[in-house]
Structure 1
Amino acid sequence: MNAATMLVSVARRYKHLTNPVGFVARAFIKQSGLQLGNGSAVTRSCLDIGAGTAPYAKALRQHMGVEPYIAVDIAPSESTSIVADCAQLPFQSASIDLLVSFDVIQHVPSPQAMLGEAHRVLKEGGHILLTYPFLYPECDVRDFHRWTLEGMHNMLVAHGFEIVRAQRRGGALFAWTCWVIWMIQHLVPGQRQSWRARRNWASFLRAGVLAALTLPAELFGWIALGLDKVLPSQGVYMGACVLARKALDTQVEGAPR
């Protein structure tokens, strides 16, 4: 392992340990696996749409019985299984048990097309698990959409899904903390455009500076998650997680009858 690869691994591990957004997603995966049942005999084929570096592959295998795990993205990386567009998935209809996508759907010009393809490739009774933003700044790559819980609920139902469980990602304090982290990240010149950005020593130095600057806010994010659970909800939250089931014998909105 060369020095650059080692630094990438260290940086990803650091983010994995300190980022409360990732913790919320992994906790939701675990709770969803318990709800669906994850005995030793359970095996689910899984597509991870917009997987990037596949940070949730381990949690999906552990808590939702995922095998095989297929990482799909529009650009190749060391973690990508298949390069494909989420609006034109190269999979047979009714061939997949579980489709997941973590904070990707807001970057898709037509989320309706993405959900239509998800419905097509999922088996009857198969599941889709999404995380998505609500009150959060625009990202540094193409960014099109934001949803409330009800907005995502309605869109999933219109595309032939039944909501199994959904939860807010934090509350007002956590949303505020995420805004602060975003602002700190953009105070340092050269904000990376995506995880695919070129890696060099300058980018590693910048990542180190950002890690030091954002650490206090990251730590407060964990406290904010706890406080938001006891404070009254006021319709202010950073985003949400949702698990939905492909309904049996459904007619998808816009599909020919």
Structure 2
Amino acid sequence: MRINTQLTAAGRKELAFLKDVLRRWNGRTLDVGCGNMVDRLGFKPGGEYVGVDVVPTKYTSAMADIHHLPFRDHSFDGLICNSVLEHVARPEVALSELGRVLKTSGTLFLSTPFLQHVHAPYDFRRFTPQGLRQEVERAGFVVDDLYCNCGVLDSVEYLLFSAVGWRTLKDKDLQGAGSWLYVVVLAGLYALSKFLGLVFKGQQKRDARHATSVSLVAHRAG
């Protein structure tokens, strides 16, 4: 069962940024690690949408690993790599492969989590804004826009929401009164953080050092 992070402020902000970027896209678009993202977007970006993943979904056009994409050089106008890079064994190879299949005039959208739960079992790393920019630039991209999903309270809300979700829906760890009480306390703190996040929404925009996720838009150098 999937935990719906769109019930959190951080999840909604991240999706809003993604929609704003992808609504402007045209041409052939490759979504690497596509999952069921189209369901969350509500539309297929680009003129032609191609989904790739290591597991089959209703949007998977090809089963492939990001380290070895089965496409010709410079064959896509746009690339989406949303919450994928933290799961790959060699991010530098993955980014090089993305650069290979992207046209010179093409655009890359890339997003990674930062202050989030561990996406077990294949969750290897987190990127700071500076670290993600450096990795992308090393792979031959030029960063056009970098977005930090900032806010201390929104990050706390996200973590509490995911903690309750994983405990109850994923791990199903509700053995004994202590477990139930713990989950109830977490749920109460989640509700409080959500309320305070709304109260201090303006202040949270200044929390540049506390980001739930980091996203960027880039193009190939040269």
Partner of 1:67: 47
**Residue 227 (structure 1) shift:** 3.4
Deviations 1:18-46 (A, max 9, x none): 35444323321343357xxx4xxx73211
TM-score by length of 2: 0.80
Inter-partner Cα distance in structure 1 for 2:196 and 2:106: 35
Question: In the alignment, which of 19, 28, 31 is matched to residue 20 of structure 2?
Answer: 31
Q: Does 1:43 align with 2:26?
A: yes
Deviation at 1:84, TM superposition (A): 0.5
Is 1:119 the counterpart of 2:99? The answer is yes
Aligned to 2:118: 138
1:238 partner SS: strand
User: Aligned AA for 1:51?
Assistant: C
Structure 2 residue 197 is matched with structure 1 residue 224: yes
- CA distance in 1 between partners of 2:36 and 2:151 (Å): 27
Q: Percent identity?
A: 25
1:98-109 equivalent positions in 2, closer than 5 A: 98-109=78-89
Q: Which amino acid aligns with 1:58?
A: G
Partner of 1:205: none
Inter-partner Cα distance in structure 1 for 2:50 and 2:188: 32
Q: 1:58 aligns with which of 24, 42, 46?
A: 42
| Cα separation, 1, equivalents of 2:221 and 2:198 | 33
User: TM-score, normalised on structure 1?
Assistant: 0.70
CA RMSD between the two structures: 3.0
User: Against the structure 1 CA distance between its residues 221 and 170, is the aligned structure 2 distance closer, same or farther, given a 3 Å change threshold?
Assistant: farther
Deviations 1:45-102 (A, max 9, x none): 11111111233553453xxxx0211111001122211111111000100110111021
Residues 152-176 of structure 1 show CA distances to partners (whole Å, capped at 9, x for unaligned) of 0111111111111111113211111
The answer as to whether partners of 1:57 and 1:69 remain within 8 angstroms in 2 is no
* Native 8 Å contact 1:26 1:59 kept in 2: no
- Judge which range, 136-145 or 229-238, deviates more: 229-238
Q: How does 1:153-164 map to 2 (within 5 A)?
A: 153-164=133-144
